[in-house]
A and B are shown apart, each in its own frame.
Chain A
């Protein structure tokens, strides 16, 4: 059946998306600016949380996009544009990264190693400012390049209905996925693990990857459910689509817990000082509560929230759990980053609010901007009709 038989009338997003997005962005920007004036070091640490969160949503979405092409997934095609719009946040990574790169010396202690410290001197060939910036830029260009071509082909297909564009995107995605695996692991090491430069965990890249996919899925699900309930997509999307999204969220919640626990168990069992130091830092003072809270926020609550079959199909529950999981990922990044700043106890105040608001606003604005110029449904995709008819 030709995809032209799918009826789609483009509806403009309500203006409140832009209004709320701008308000959040402005509020976030003011708090971040004030934060950088009053306490640049603390703000720089917050900046890392914000930046890694944006990478999670942007690059994670690009990964989901590539996954759909590589796996030949049909069910996610009707709302693939949402994932594409979220991946557009890759453009904004430099915006959040530049203030951080200006403060690179205050946050990353490996930038000024003690010459007597042999470990740090041995790590210097990898951990030095020049190579760090080279990596940051190279990774960003790689992500941006793949995003640019994949989304360009996808948009072009809306008008031309050319099936060879799908094939081209499958090829691009196949190349992208191994590149993604390597870049996201090294990005995790660069931005998060090197905050405590003597500590190492071989599973850390996978740990960040699990959170990345979860965040991208959750952010996508929020938009998909909201837009579908208000009728912005084509007719015929059923609870089976919701169920699949919920099942993926549930699966990656478990995957995250599995990886997080693997990391903890091995370090706890071996009890080597150079490894346990990271968890001990997260057990100091009130950090203990944040650490224990992570288990509940990131695993127990989403697990039971999405366990039953009806809960994955119920749009309201799915929306709540997606928002919660997005929050949980921010919480996770906060837990990884901030104990490097506040060593005695939890650091939480108005300054920590800046980046979440700023990034939430940015994501909404980017989405709104993209939705203006592009269709919300990839109407030229040959898989669209089958995607709409998808039943479990």
Chain B
């Protein structure tokens, strides 16, 4: 054994009672750098070795609570601040609806972080070699024996005294464990070919099963029954109604809430005479009008409503809105054109709500005033 360094003295026992006794005695003797190896967790060992309770519980607690908190803050920010949508008439901040998610995130983050902390912090995972690996001692204690290993760097260690101690607690076998310089600095490779093949196999099986279940299994009986549901989809016919249509017309003579039908279809002059702009000119209305004008009107009429747009030359030239004709039109007359379209211009009633159309008109008026200012504007 020359050139070898003594790592520890190990004792092997036949029964769990003996190993507990040995651990108790080791504590009494004052050994600090020792460990016990058993094939399964032996009850009462923590107490015998006077181990402090694991700190792992705190990891679970801290990460569990931070999971709760981050879930709460995330949902609150998403559904009440960043993208507020009223769902089911509930307030934007609906705590009861958050609870299941908070619970799930708590469990998830506590569980994952407990495992990660256990592997990398408590088990020091990338470190995958140990002097006891591959020894006869380890083979025995991982099958049917119970062992104690007292390390040579223990301050109380001396070969004779430890041997005497192990004999005094009736060890069935006493084995010294040696290692050498090379072994001390040895690290097993993490990416062994076997491991890589294992990873690849897992990836292959997972993706194969996923592909099979999403693309094949779902189309087999009985799973494909879910695709045929007795519900009504939009644009589908339905045998329930005598006319065979699935979608219904509004009840005759009714108007949907918050919606005013356009009364002057094909009568733009009457509309011009009768419709009055209900939206007063204001900063907000002009801002809204500019936004909508820039989106929907400017591609043809140009940003300044002078007809100078990027489409000029490709179509019959779109007219300037600064002509005398448009300037003398009433707001209602312009409204009629936006609503119904004119010549090559289509209707914009589905893109622009009634209020938005009036806001666009306010903005057009402002553009017109900018080119044809009155004396009073200068002052």
Contacts and interface: CB of A to CB of B under 8 A. Distances in A.
- Do A and B form a real pair? yes
Interface of A: 261, 264-265, 268-269, 271, 308-309, 391-392
Contacts of B44: 391
Given A261-B99, A264-B96, A269-B88, A392 B43 contact: yes
Contacts of B96: 261, 264-265, 268-269
Contact of A309 (B43, B57, B89, B97): B57
Main secondary structure of the interface of A (DSSP, over half): helix
14 contacts: A261-B96, A261-B99, A264-B96, A265-B96, A265-B97, A269-B88, A269-B96, A271-B89, A308-B57, A309-B53, A309-B57, A391-B43, A391-B44, A392-B43
A314 B99 CA distance: 31
B19 to A, nearest CB: 15
A251 to B, nearest CB: 15
A280 B19 CA distance: 63
A373 to B, nearest CB: 37
B100 interface: yes
B97 A269 contact: yes
Nearest to A264: B96
Contacts of A265: 96-97, 99-100
Contacts of B53: 309
A271 B91 CA distance: 13
A184 B97 CA distance: 30
A385 B187 CA distance: 50
Nearest to B87: A269
A391 B57 CA distance: 21
Nearest to A240: B43
A261 B99 CA distance: 9
In the complex, the 9 A-B pairs of residues with the closest C-beta atoms, listed nearest first = A391-B43, A268-B96, A265-B96, A391-B44, A261-B99, A264-B96, A309-B53, A271-B88, A392-B43
B273 to A, nearest CB: 49
Nearest to B43: A391
Nearest to B99: A261
Nearest to A267: B96
A391 B16 CA distance: 14
Contacts of A308: 57
Contacts of A391: 43-44
A305 to B, nearest CB: 15
Contacts of B100: 265
Interface in B75-95: 88-89
Nearest to A392: B43
A392 B44 CA distance: 8
Contacts of B99: 261, 265
A357 B88 CA distance: 46
Given A264-B96, A268-B96, A269-B96, 16 more contacts: A261-B96, A261-B99, A265-B96, A265-B97, A265-B99, A265-B100, A269-B88, A269-B97, A271-B88, A271-B89, A308-B57, A309-B53, A309-B57, A391-B43, A391-B44, A392-B43
Interface string B7-47: 00000000000000000000000000000000000011000
A269 B53 CA distance: 43
B49 to A, nearest CB: 15
B116 to A, nearest CB: 22
A309 B97 CA distance: 31
A391 B44 CA distance: 8
Of B89, B96, B97, most A-chain CB atoms within 10 Å: B96
